[in-house]
Structure 1
Amino acid sequence: MNGESIRRNQQNLQKQRDVITYRMKKLAAKQAEITKKTDEVKEKIQKKYEDMKRILDEDLRITLTQLDIEHEAAEKLVEERIEECYHLTQELDQQMSETDIQSADTEKRISETLRLTDPDLIQMDEFKNQQLLSLTINLLLFIRSQVPVTKKLFQSYAADVVLDTDTAHPKLIISPAGDSVTYTDTWQDVPETECRFDTTLNVVSQQGFSEGRQYWEVEVSGKTYWELGLTYPSIPRKGREEDSWLGRGKDSWCVEYFNGDYTAWHGGVPHELTLLAGRKFTRIGVYCSFPGGMVCFLGADTMTPLHCFCAGTFTDTLYQALCPGHDNEGTNWKSLKICDASRSAPVL
């Protein structure tokens, strides 16, 4: 290569380097923009929660003050009645020291005092107080029905997921409704299809999605090994390539549970979720935002965040994917069951 060619090559490389450098600046600016927007939303939400707390605290103060005022009024009346009785006893003591004859007027005063100071005549408005308590209980029930707010939001994105029997590994049994998958030691007599997994215990959904937002939940209770997530249709189905395992290639995202440990996978990179070690959930939720390029996993019982992947932009249709795992020394025979994500999971 002569000097002129070297110079042109260096100029070309410099231009490409400048382009990459500029791209890095743009990415840094995007990072700052994302951080700023996230912080702004977090601040607004926090202020709203603080407003709600102030409103509830003020309402509590008003309600308790009303009860205190009524209590003080009733207590004052009781004290007045006690004082009346006390003064009368003083007068009677005086009369007893002066004469042993009780006048008719005295008898009348005693009778009238006993009538006016009858404790049964002093009543609190218990019916109204019970109504206050009932309204408070209703408010609590309403608040509980609205939280966690992430649950209410994700429920609005609930997807109807049906598993595709033509994709299921031959050692998997798919329910007639397509809503559960079970591992079995017995090789099923199923037709060979191009889309069927033949080495990994996977099954994917019949329908994919390529826009909007979707949320789905899987019941995982009683199992010691499972994987679930999302995948492009391009995930390898045949042979012993590791990429055919969920999350091991760039085609899929998943969370894996094995003997008490959680690991999030994508592109063959494991993210050990050590803070969740030993935690058990009845349901696992998966939220996907196509506009945001997000795949988020949650412990749906309490909406506990597990892990979130950001793909930036999805490049193909996404399908729900499940792996119920092998028998795991006889501890993992239960099914993975797709739940109605529009309804709340039981609280543990």
Structure 2
Amino acid sequence: MPQNIQDRLIGQREVIKCRLKKLKGKQKQVKTKSTAMRESIMKKYEEIRRVLEEDCRITLSLLEMEETATIQALENLIEKNCVLLKDIEIQLNEGLMESGMQSGDRVTLYEDRVLELLTATEPGLIKLDEAKADQLLGLTNNLLLFIRSQTPIAKRLLKSYYTEVSLDPTTAHPKLIISSAGDCATFTDVWQDVPEQEGRFDTTLNVLSLQCWNSGHHYWEVDVSGKIYWELGLTYPSIPRKGQKEDCWLGRHAESWCLEYFDGDYNAWHGGTAHPLPISSCFHKIGILCSFPGGLVTFLGVDSMMPLFSFCAGTFTDSLHLALCPGHDLQGTNSKPIKICQS
């Protein structure tokens, strides 16, 4: 090999080695930052747990202390009744209740003592402070409602990213009916009389959003209830739209990211590679998060806010459209529409 060519190859080898070193350094940096973020969040949740446990301890201690005092007061009243009862039984057992004025006076004395005792030990005199207890229960319930209103935290965050979107009927396959509001796509076996458009899909049952985005965070939820097949995701405008090529399908090339569901099985698609998901749940709503700062496309099962799969593109090279495919009706088993949920 000529020396100059060998030198050039060595130079290229060093360039690649340098890039590998930087990539591995970046990988380590990402892991370090992610670990630190997880630990910080876990510490906050631990602090929340400790605060709630301490507040619960204080509240229960107050109630237990008042319960102890009330029980003790009742014990004292019970003791007074037992003492007088025992005294009367002694009188009966020892036969001291003889006839005559003396015994009558003694009976009168006991009757007075019993009457006094019954008045002093009326159970209704001992009460729990139920009004305060009800207030504590009410405050506890308010705290629960507030916590529920703030959780799941991830859902609150995603909702803050919600972006208005509508479907573009000029991109829809002729066998798709797009609602007038642009939020719903329904398959029909009748070929629609629609204008021929350069951007219209003519084989795959896709439709794109009218809007596209190239920065920020965006989140949508799609209702897929009652369906056994669908595809949804994000795509660059350059996705092929004509012909039988698989490139027109979502996720079958490097220009789109897709989550597919068919008869109980979920697959995440990108670059023609399927990622089977070990999920047994059938979600009624699917969330799609697009993060331009992170170059991320994330899918979630909205029903339980379960993260399903994330793609990391690093940096998006073009703007992105939301893309939906409701699929064929499959002999009536998949006739339900696919619908974008409102915020």
Task: Quote how far apart the aligned CAs of 1:316 are.
Answer: 0.4
- The question of 1:101 aligning with 2:104 is answered yes
Choose the corresponding residue for 1:191, options 192, 195, 198. Answer: 195
Instruction: Give the equivalent residue in structure 2 for 1:281.
Output: 283
**Cα shift readout 1:94-135 (whole Å, capped 9, x = no counterpart):** 444323324444333221111010001111111111111121
Task: Quote how far apart the aligned CAs of 1:309 are.
Answer: 0.1
Instruction: Give the equivalent residue in structure 1 for 2:154.
Output: 150
Instruction: Give the equivalent residue in structure 1 for 2:172.
Output: 168
Give distance in 1, aligned partners of 2:147 and 2:17: 51
**Cα shift readout 1:46-83 (whole Å, capped 9, x = no counterpart):** 11111111111111111111111111111001110011
Task: Quote how far apart the aligned CAs of 1:140 are.
Answer: 1.5
Which stretch of structure 1 is more off in the superposition, 288-297 or 93-102? 93-102
- The question of 1:217 aligning with 2:215 is answered no
SS in 2 for 1:255: strand
Give distance in 1, aligned partners of 2:105 and 2:193: 110
Task: In structure 1, give the amino acid aligned to 2:104.
Answer: I
Which stretch of structure 1 is more off in the superposition, 99-108 or 7-16? 99-108
Task: Quote how far apart the aligned CAs of 1:160 are.
Answer: 0.7
Give distance in 2, aligned partners of 1:232 and 1:141: 42
Taking the TM superposition and a 5 Å limit, the aligned residue runs for 1:282-321 are 282-321=284-323
Give distance in 2, aligned partners of 1:162 and 1:134: 44
Give distance in 1, aligned partners of 2:158 and 2:105: 83
Instruction: Give the equivalent residue in structure 2 for 1:237.
Output: 241
Task: In structure 1, give the amino acid aligned to 2:318.
Answer: D
**Cα shift readout 1:226-257 (whole Å, capped 9, x = no counterpart):** 00000000000111221110000111000000
Give distance in 2, aligned partners of 1:172 and 1:258: 19
SS in 1 for 2:170: helix
Task: In structure 2, give the amino acid aligned to 1:53.
Answer: R
Which stretch of structure 1 is more off in the superposition, 331-340 or 7-16? 7-16
Which stretch of structure 1 is more off in the superposition, 186-195 or 59-68? 59-68
Instruction: Give the equivalent residue in structure 2 for 1:179.
Output: 183
Which structure 2 residue ranges, 5 or more long, are not aligned? 98-102
Instruction: Give the equivalent residue in structure 2 for 1:335.
Output: 337
Task: Quote how far apart the aligned CAs of 1:137 are.
Answer: 1.6
Which stretch of structure 1 is more off in the superposition, 95-104 or 252-261? 95-104
The two structures have a TM-score, normalised by structure 2, of 0.95
Pairwise CA RMSD of aligned residues?
1.2
Structure 1 consecutive aligned stretches of length 4 or more whose deviation exceeds 4 Å: none
**Cα shift readout 1:138-165 (whole Å, capped 9, x = no counterpart):** 2112212222111010000001110000
Instruction: Give the equivalent residue in structure 2 for 1:14.
Output: 10
Give distance in 1, aligned partners of 2:147 and 2:188: 44
- The question of 1:118 aligning with 2:116 is answered no
SS in 2 for 1:165: coil
Instruction: Give the equivalent residue in structure 1 for 2:253.
Output: 249
Which structure 1 residue ranges, 5 or more long, are not aligned? 343-348
Give distance in 2, aligned partners of 1:169 and 1:308: 28
Larger radius of gyration: 2
Give distance in 1, aligned partners of 2:264 and 2:113: 81
Give distance in 2, aligned partners of 1:20 and 1:239: 39
